[in-house]
Chains A and B, each alone.
Chain A
Amino acid sequence: MSVLEIIIALPLLAALAVWLGAPARAASLGATIVNLILVLYAVVQYGGKTGLAFTCSHPILENPALSFAVGADGTSLILALLTALVMLAAIWQIQDRPAIFYVSSLLIGGGALGAFLTTDVFFIYAFHELALIPTFLMIALHGRAEPAQRKAVAWKATIYLGAGSLVLLAGLVWLVLEFSGGSKLTFDLEALRNQAKLTPLPDAKQGQIFFLLLLGFGSLVSLFPFHSWAAPAYATAPTPVAMLHSGVLKKFGLYGLIRIALPLLPQGAHVEWVQHALIWMLLGNILVMGLVTIHASRLDDTLANSSVMHMGYIFLGIASGSELALKGAVILMFAHGVSIALLFGLCGRMRNQLGTLEYNKLGGLATHAPAFTVLFAFGAFASIGLPGLTNFAGEVMIFLGNFTEFKAGALTPLQWAVILALWGVVMSAVYMLRAYRSIFHGSPATGLFMIDPALSQRVPFILLAATLLVTGCCPWLLLNLMKSAL
């Protein structure tokens, strides 16, 4: 029995309990708070260690070797921490909603925790799928749009994610077949890794498999051009679902690339055609989606598209493959998760109170809701990469990491991509400040005003904002968890 098993099981059990009639809010909040404490305990325990910790394995099949195996290293703990934080915030901010909101939040969070904390490829995959179902249902059933429209949006997302998952499954199966060694098929990540170290594949083949995995994982992370599900889905999704999916669950694809694809296929991302394809795609994320975001005229659109856009930076870190950039990518995953969850949470409140998110109808909210404004500013400035908030640390590590191998006068394609990506930072400032200006600055629009949430309802947002500030000023807190090379 490992603490990680409790961490995974707790939200799922709480979800079951709530569905079967337990008091929704109390049970969910209790479970998530305990969960956060457990995750923090694990984080503290892990300290400056390296390698997997808290491992525990229960075989469920012998051949192909499948086991329910948990274990965590720094990367997974950081993401588990992210999940616990966002889940708590997402559940806390729910107000006057049916129990299904709590259940789905718990399921998404529990699924994400399972995906991050298990070390068997099968369960990593399975938990992610588990978390997708409530996402889909909640968008289709409680989305913020007309029934027909929200169903269409939910379907779009589901078809994309489902197709992506299947491509991913094909890639994983391929990996398992290649790296299982002679006698037995195994899904155990560590065993696969060891085999990959012993007998690495030829580069060309690594490139092929990596590309397949990139497509699979990529469509889960809204990698351009497989992104068009994301923006409408987030704009439509009920607040806790938007927070959890964009903040946490989406990171699964990136986590998978870092955790599965890169160690098994170390040369995969460096095969020329794969790298070029990846660069084009991530630039699509950053530049095309940056412009699309600038064009958005509603806050939820802006946030949703920006969330797609920022994935490009994380892919940039993954494409680089240097340790600095990879760790930067992990930091940025954490940072983006917290900041986008904060923004979506606040956006949801605004929609509830104001009924509209159109920029040209809003204005001057800062006057009556100063605390709200400050909280929003944390999220907005974090997402444009302001130093002192976590996103900056991640972004700058990714940028720097791409320049560790440098020849004056001969920039590599990746380095050119970084320079273009930096322009994306300017674009994100453009749309975020436009949003901030139209919503909070100026004189209050007539008839549309809101007041600060009650203190207890501020807690989840304060929690997220404080996380951004603390880990932004001290990114080494997170980096300490990743002492070992990725």
Chain B
Amino acid sequence: MSVFTIEAGLAILGLALLLVEAFKPDISRRTLGLTAIAGTVLALVLFILAPHDTASLPGFIQPWHQLDGLAIFYKGFALVITILVLWLTLECAPYLTRFTLDGKLAEMFSLPLIVCAGMMWMASARDLVTVFVALELVTISFYVLVAFARKSAFSLEAGVKYLILGALSTGVLVYGIAWIYGATGTMSFDGIAKALANPATSKTAALFGSAVLLCGLGFKVAAAPFHMWVPDVYQGAPTPVTAFLSVGSKAAGFVVLTRALDAFMSAGSIIGSEIQALLLVIGALTALLGSLPAMFQTSVKRLLAYSSISHAGYLLLALACRESARFDLSSGGVVAFYLATYLPMTVLGFLGLGIMRANGLGEDLKDFTGLAKRNPLLALLMTLSFASLAGLPLTAGFLGKLFVFLGLADHGCWGALTCAVIAAATGFYYYFKTVLAMYTTEGTDVPALSLSTATKAVAGALALAIVILGVYPKPLQGVLKADKAAVVAK
């Protein structure tokens, strides 16, 4: 069974679930959810077993799809995050239903499957057309998901904002694609790279096109100054959707960005240095604009949104630093590594938020007060998540940051490094502000908060992933190393 079939199967399963809900409205959401989860897990298993080379794809799709290391990694990534989001949705279902029409949640289980298929396609896209289609598949599904809790004013507002700004970015993106095409005469990444290596190509047109394209993609990954939607949308969207946006959508954006930049900044590219400078500026700005306003947040969910912006900044900086001979990972590899570490810590953080929400608590800092007393385990896990987000050594978050900083230093980008360090330092403040709140004991008696075994297991697994990635990253690095070899070979 080829990978493509699996992806198609996922999309079909998504549609099927949608139809089932429509024609058999009394089906329980648990059944729906578990079916979706089971389907995705099955897809993951099949994906692992499936052959991992481009030749195994159906012939008709081969010109547009590829299966290199990066693609395999991001496809797996998409499947994992989808499973986690579906599960998180089930966890949050009791309170989510209060905000949906008729207390239904069907789309919350089916749309993620479609999003997942979209992300998987995006990961293996070989040309801008495929990128655009897959990206829009994901984005449009997200419009629905963000506004899904439509009885909640917040969710609706987030939906509207995401819709308008997202559509705007789509326009910018297409316009950029048009100009890239105009400058290079091709849509495929390989072709673009070749054309850009040719000095006869118009530099100005190429610069214009790539700049506009990067603006469009910058919106998807929350790069400054296209990041303003992030706090509002993340805060307003239902928590599972926020987690999905924060990890999945961002990863999807970055895989496209990696592919595009591989083309724009390939060896001998006439626009390579300008693009690198642009990335450094945007990356540093993003890291700062994510961190600085976060210091005053009282809503933890919004704080995580800012944190997500800040992380996007580090990732952009990683992309700015192309391959170094002394480094096993390509810049795309570093980004992938970073995202792999980012997944467990972010999902764990949102899981905590979801659990608290499900237990009738808010998402504010004051709701975190005394969490350690309510449930020491949850507090410990959340601490781990926040410590990792802050980049504390021995957690997964540190290594990602370390690679980024190493790359910046190796390329001599001291200005950007300074900004990144300041942003990271600020990060320590707001993450640990939250941690501190959890362990604060003064105040009223707080009722205990219990976790189901399944929750414990999932949260524990995520925490374990944080620790293992932090102290034993060798296997993950091994997976990503292959990618560098491929890039170098190209």
Q: Do chains A and B touch in the complex (CB under 8 A)?
A: yes
Residues of A at the B interface (CB closer than 8 Å) are 19, 59-64, 68, 100, 122, 125-127, 129-130, 133, 136-137, 140-141, 147, 151, 154-155, 158-159, 162-163, 166-167, 169-170, 173-174, 176-177, 180, 182-185
Separation of A31 and B11 alpha carbons in the complex (Å) = 55
Contact yes or no, A158 B425, CB < 8 A: no
Separation of A166 and B326 alpha carbons in the complex (Å) = 23
**Are A137 and B406 CB-contacts (below 8 A) given A129-B393, A170-B421?**
no
Contact yes or no, A185 B327, CB < 8 A: yes
Q: Which of A61, A100, A130, A173 interacts with B409 by CB under 8 Å?
A: A173
For chain B residues 201-252, which have a beta carbon within 8 Å of chain A?
Answer: none
Interface residues on B, range: 20 to 34
For chain B residues 381-419, which have a beta carbon within 8 Å of chain A?
Answer: 387, 392-394, 398, 402, 405-406, 409-410, 417
**Are A133 and B394 CB-contacts (below 8 A) given A64-B327, A158-B432, A177-B406?**
no
Separation of A126 and B328 alpha carbons in the complex (Å) = 22
Stretch at the interface among B13-21, B50-58, B469-477: B469-477
For the residues of B in contact with A, the DSSP-based class is helix
Separation of A151 and B436 alpha carbons in the complex (Å) = 9
**Are A126 and B398 CB-contacts (below 8 A) given A59-B474, A60-B472?**
yes
Closest to A186 in B: B326
Q: Which of A19, A62, A133, A182 interacts with B376 by CB under 8 Å?
A: A19
Separation of A177 and B327 alpha carbons in the complex (Å) = 11
Separation of A396 and B428 alpha carbons in the complex (Å) = 40
Question: In this assembly, does B435 line the interface, its C-beta being within 8 Å of a C-beta of chain A?
Answer: yes
Contact yes or no, A141 B327, CB < 8 A: no
For the residues of A in contact with B, the DSSP-based class is helix
Separation of A196 and B442 alpha carbons in the complex (Å) = 52
Question: In this assembly, does B380 line the interface, its C-beta being within 8 Å of a C-beta of chain A?
Answer: yes
Q: For B297, what are the chain A residues with a Cβ–Cβ distance below 8 Å?
A: none
Q: 12 A-B residue contacts at CB 8 Å?
A: A60-B471, A122-B393, A126-B393, A130-B394, A136-B436, A137-B435, A141-B441, A158-B432, A169-B402, A177-B406, A180-B326, A185-B406
Q: For A147, what are the chain B residues with a Cβ–Cβ distance below 8 Å?
A: 440, 442
Nearest-CB distance from A55 to chain B (Å)?
Answer: 19
Contact yes or no, A125 B393, CB < 8 A: yes
For chain B residues 255-282, which have a beta carbon within 8 Å of chain A?
Answer: none
Nearest-CB distance from A188 to chain B (Å)?
Answer: 15
Contact yes or no, A155 B474, CB < 8 A: no
Contact yes or no, B405 A158, CB < 8 A: no
Closest to B443 in A: A147
Q: For A170, what are the chain B residues with a Cβ–Cβ distance below 8 Å?
A: 405, 409, 417, 421
Contact yes or no, B477 A62, CB < 8 A: yes
Query: Which of A19, A125, A137 has the most B CB atoms < 10 Å from its CB?
Result: A137
Question: In this assembly, does B439 line the interface, its C-beta being within 8 Å of a C-beta of chain A?
Answer: yes
Contact yes or no, A130 B432, CB < 8 A: no
Closest to A147 in B: B442
Separation of A163 and B425 alpha carbons in the complex (Å) = 6
Nearest-CB distance from A394 to chain B (Å)?
Answer: 30
**Are A19 and B327 CB-contacts (below 8 A) given A64-B406, A130-B394?**
no
Q: For B432, what are the chain A residues with a Cβ–Cβ distance below 8 Å?
A: 133, 136, 158
Contact yes or no, B328 A62, CB < 8 A: yes
Q: For B327, what are the chain A residues with a Cβ–Cβ distance below 8 Å?
A: 63-64, 185
Nearest-CB distance from B26 to chain A (Å)?
Answer: 44
Contact yes or no, A137 B439, CB < 8 A: yes
Q: Told that A63-B328, A122-B393, A170-B417 touch, could you supply 18 new A-B pairs with CB distance under 8 A?
A: A19-B376, A60-B472, A62-B474, A64-B327, A122-B402, A127-B393, A127-B394, A133-B387, A136-B436, A141-B440, A147-B440, A158-B428, A158-B429, A162-B425, A166-B421, A167-B421, A169-B421, A185-B406
